Amino acid sequence: MRIDPASPVPKYAQLRDLLLDWIEETQLSVDGAIPSERELGVRYGLSRMTVRQTIDHLVSEGKLYRVPGKGTFLARPKIEMSLRMASFTEDMRSRGFAPGAQDLARRVEAARGHVARMLDIDTGAPVHHIERLRTADGEPMAIERSNIPLSVAPGLAERSLSGRSLYQLLEDEYGLILDSGEQTIEAGLCDPTDARLLGLPPGSAVLLLQRRSFVNGKCVELAISTYRADRYQLHSTLDPRQ
């Protein structure tokens, strides 16, 4: 395949497709190098500027990454964000990663405003607030901030969560089996504190998730989470009848 100068598709966009085809055909492995900008320019008869534009796009999409002075390499594929009720632990295990959690904060506090409303409890009612950095094979993936009414899980504060799944604990010790949920996902920019924890430059793109999980119609968890947008993507099947 070649660049078609008569095509209405801009050359940088044609090169993007050619490059993605080349990556697939050569079965380039993750961290494998793509040809240099100079080589690509010669191979496809394009200016260095056009080639750079294509690569800039692929880098910002997270498909490629640059190492200054070394070249441009194939990035790892993104993880498809689970749209099921799965816990982080379950989800990561099913993908072959070792799940992990680092405690960032844990306290019992009085529910206010948004949290009280979303949990459908009185303002001032006590809630467990649990903040964890979630990791996959040791790599930071997300920060999860869970709010659980004290009334649904009394004594949770005294229970260790280290190396343990929160959902599993809720099930084993409180008989809470989450049976429904709702979730919103929106794009956002990472604040400096979360960026440091996630190992990202401040202002990086992130996915902001808010999940409410229910047992018999009662909201038992409000989780407000920040997921790395360079490691996650959304995928859904579309049903015209819904």
Nearer to ligand 16G, 65 or 97 (CB): 97
Nearer to ligand 16G, 53 or 183 (CB): 183
Positions that interact with ligand 16G (CB under 6 A): 87-89, 144, 146, 165-168, 209, 211, 221, 223, 225
- Which of 182, 104, 166, 98 has the alpha carbon at shortest distance from 135? 98
Q: How far apart are CA 27 and CA 23, in angstroms?
A: 6
88 with 134: CB under 8 angstroms?
yes
Residue placing its CB nearer to ligand 16G in the complex, 22 or 214: 214
- As measured in angstroms, the least distance from the Cβ of 196 to ligand 16G is 20
Least distance (Å) between residue 32 CB and ligand 16G: 31
- Least distance to ligand 16G, CB of residue 204, Å: 18
**Smallest distance, ligand 16G to C-beta of residue 224, A:** 8
Which residue has 């649904």 as its token pair? 152
CA 13 to centroid of chain Cα atoms: 27
Terminal Cα-to-Cα distance of the chain (whole angstroms): 40
By beta-carbon proximity to ligand 16G, the closer residue of 8 and 163 is 163
Instruction: Kindly report the length of the chain.
Output: 242
State how far the Cα of 55 lies from the Cα of 43, in Å rounded to an integer.
Answer: 15
Q: Are 163 and 199 in contact (CB under 8 A)?
A: no
Closest CB to ligand 16G among 34 and 223? 223
Q: CB of 239: closest distance to ligand 16G in angstroms?
A: 22
